[in-house]
């Protein structure tokens, strides 16, 4: 029987697994207004981002691309873009952001306020529009879609020996399935590619992609050296070694196994949306920028594959980042799972002593993902917490 999930068909030809209205404040000055609208109206999200003042032109362009990417994310039903008349940077022009979203077929409304607008009257105008957007969003209905409509990202952390054996390879199986059916799968963490370039380049679609993979890893290594850090000297970390990982290559190998065995279609710049299905590598850090990066590239859901129990999930279960895609914490370490069951959606720990069951666990994970996509909350989603989003901004602030 064909495997399906229930999702929302969006006008810009993608399928959502959640249903939100997004408020985009095109300037830092509008963040408070955006937050307050979200407090008043349910089922809304906003991009609470760092100030654009003092940033380079390149970084402001990344911000613009990220806002548009978030607006186009499959989990977003419609958008309200907020701007201030006559002020702000060219790259962050509210009307242009709105237009780039509506060009794709998705609904995006625009409010430009005068500089001396009062916040409370701005609230009145905004809330009126957003209430209507949320009402319209609630009329959308889920229907059945196949694996070709999936778009999933994965990050791994707190590596131990389970990561490369019972953890990440299961995600690899999931990714192989998604990609073979025409869906999209994303992985990233450029600094973690160091030591494994030869493994990844073997799977690159062509020489151009292979070169981009090597450049992505080298870019981070060079950046580290330029500030006096030698990545190769500090990785693996003491915690990794205590857990049995002996060399950088061993750690990288374990990390890379989460991408499966598919051809790597392309290396994507931050916040670029790929047009067709396939496996994609996003060039960015392993940190919170990546969560936003997945959202801006069009992922519906993000997996966080955890090794050892160093992560203080009990203190902050919902993670941070783009806030518009759910995060699902999964692990291949049964001890980790037992200690934090409230926070994990999947445990492939038993696989460590029964590695022949790899395919079986791949299917189990796929079924769990389809269930989450169809509406079952991730454990992290059962806690209300929204953090400032991190974006991948590379230049100094002036």
Partner 1 sequence: MEKGYSQEQIIILNSRDNVGIIKRDVKKGEKIIIDEEKYQNSIEVKDNIPYRFKIALENIDIGDTIIKSGEIIGKAKEKIQKGEMVHVHNIEGLRGRGDLKNK
Nearer CB in complex with partner 1: 244/375: 244
Conformational region of residue 298, where left means phi above 0, alpha means psi within -120 to 50, and beta covers everything else: left
Supply the minimum distance, in Å, between the C-beta of residue 138 and partner 1.
46
Report how many residues bind partner 1 under the rule CB under 8 A: 31
Site string for partner 1, 298-327 (x = CB under 8 A): ------------------------------
Backbone phi and psi for residue 139, each to the nearest 5 degrees, phi listed first: -85, -10
Q: E-strand spans in the chain? A: 5-9, 15-16, 20-25, 44-46, 76-84, 107-113, 143-145, 151-157, 184-187, 264-268, 278-282, 301-306, 327-331, 346-347
- Residues from 222 through 241 that contact partner 1 (CB under 8 A): 230, 232-233, 235, 241
CA–CA gap between residue 259 and residue 172 (Å, rounded):
5
Supply the minimum distance, in Å, between the C-beta of residue 397 and partner 1.
29
Q: What is the DSSP letter of 102?
A: H
* Residue from 312, 353, 384, 398 in contact with partner 1 (CB under 8 A): 353
Q: List C-alpha distances in Å: 343 to 290, 302, 303, 306, 383.
A: 20, 14, 13, 11, 10
Backbone phi and psi for residue 14, each to the nearest 5 degrees, phi listed first: -125, 170
Contact between 358 and partner 1 by CB under 8 A: the answer reads yes
Contact between 169 and partner 1 by CB under 8 A: the answer reads yes
Site string for partner 1, 61-80 (x = CB under 8 A): --------------------
Nearer CB in complex with partner 1: 319/349: 349
Neighbours of 225 (CB within 10 A): 12
* Residue from 17, 24, 152, 165 in contact with partner 1 (CB under 8 A): 165
- Residues from 243 through 302 that contact partner 1 (CB under 8 A): 243-244, 246-250, 253, 257, 261
Contact between 162 and partner 1 by CB under 8 A: the answer reads yes
Nearer CB in complex with partner 1: 119/263: 263
| Spatial CA neighbour of 247 closest among 256, 238, 235 | 235
Nearer CB in complex with partner 1: 70/200: 200
Nearer CB in complex with partner 1: 144/310: 310
Nearer CB in complex with partner 1: 135/225: 225
| Spatial CA neighbour of 74 closest among 177, 135, 150 | 150
* Residue from 352, 363, 381, 386 in contact with partner 1 (CB under 8 A): 352
Tokens representing residue 199 in the block: 């493994």
CA–CA gap between residue 327 and residue 346 (Å, rounded):
12
CA–CA gap between residue 101 and residue 91 (Å, rounded):
15
Tokens representing residue 181 in the block: 């059916």
* Residue from 160, 189, 265, 283 in contact with partner 1 (CB under 8 A): 160
- The residues of the shown chain that bind partner 1, judged by CB under 8 A, are 160-162, 164-165, 169, 194-195, 199, 218, 230, 232-233, 235, 241, 243-244, 246-250, 253, 257, 261, 352-356, 358
């Amino acid at each position: 029987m064909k495997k399906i999930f229930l999702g929302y068909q969006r006008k810009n030809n993608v399928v959502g697994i959640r249903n939100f209205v997004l408020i985009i404040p095109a300037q830092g000055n509008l963040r408070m207004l955006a937050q307050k609208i979200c407090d008043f109206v349910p089922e809304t999200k906003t991009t609470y981002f760092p100030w654009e003042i003092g940033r380079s032109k390149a970084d402001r362009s990344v911000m613009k691309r990220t806002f548009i990417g978030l607006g186009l994310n499959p989990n977003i039903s419609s958008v309200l873009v907020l701007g201030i008349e006559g002020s702000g940077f060219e790259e962050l022009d509210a009307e242009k952001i709105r237009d780039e979203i509506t060009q794709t077929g998705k609904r995006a409304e625009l409010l430009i306020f005068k500089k001396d607008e009062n916040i409370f009257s701005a609230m009145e105008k905004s809330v009126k529009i957003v209430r209507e957007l949320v009402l319209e969003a609630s009329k959308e209905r889920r229907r059945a879609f196949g694996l070709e409509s999936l778009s999933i990202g994965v990050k791994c952390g707190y590596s131990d020996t389970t990561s490369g054996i019972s953890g990440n390879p299961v995600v690899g199986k999931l990714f192989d399935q998604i990609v073979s059916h025409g869906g999209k799968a994303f992985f990233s963490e450029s600094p973690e590619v160091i030591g494994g370039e030869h493994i990844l380049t073997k799977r690159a679609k062509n020489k151009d992609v292979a070169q981009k993979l090597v450049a992505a890893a080298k870019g981070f290594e060079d950046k580290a050296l330029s500030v006096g850090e030698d990545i190769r000297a500090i990785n693996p970390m003491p915690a990794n070694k205590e857990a049995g990982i002996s060399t950088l290559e061993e750690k990288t190998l374990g990390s890379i196994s989460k991408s499966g065995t598919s051809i790597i279609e392309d290396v994507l710049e931050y916040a670029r949306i790929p047009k067709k299905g396939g496996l994609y590598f996003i060039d960015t850090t392993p940190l919170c920028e990546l969560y936003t990066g997945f959202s801006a590239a069009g992922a519906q859901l993000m997996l966080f594959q955890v090794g050892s129990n160093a992560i203080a999930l009990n203190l902050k279960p919902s993670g941070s980042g783009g806030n518009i895609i759910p995060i699902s914490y999964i692990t291949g370490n049964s001890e980790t799972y037992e200690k934090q069951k409230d926070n994990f959606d999947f445990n492939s720990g038993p696989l460590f002593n029964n590695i022949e069951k790899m395919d079986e666990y791949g299917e189990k994970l796929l079924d769990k993902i389809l269930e989450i996509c169809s509406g079952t909350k991730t454990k992290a989603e059962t806690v209300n917490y929204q953090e400032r989003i991190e974006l991948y901004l590379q230049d100094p602030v002036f």
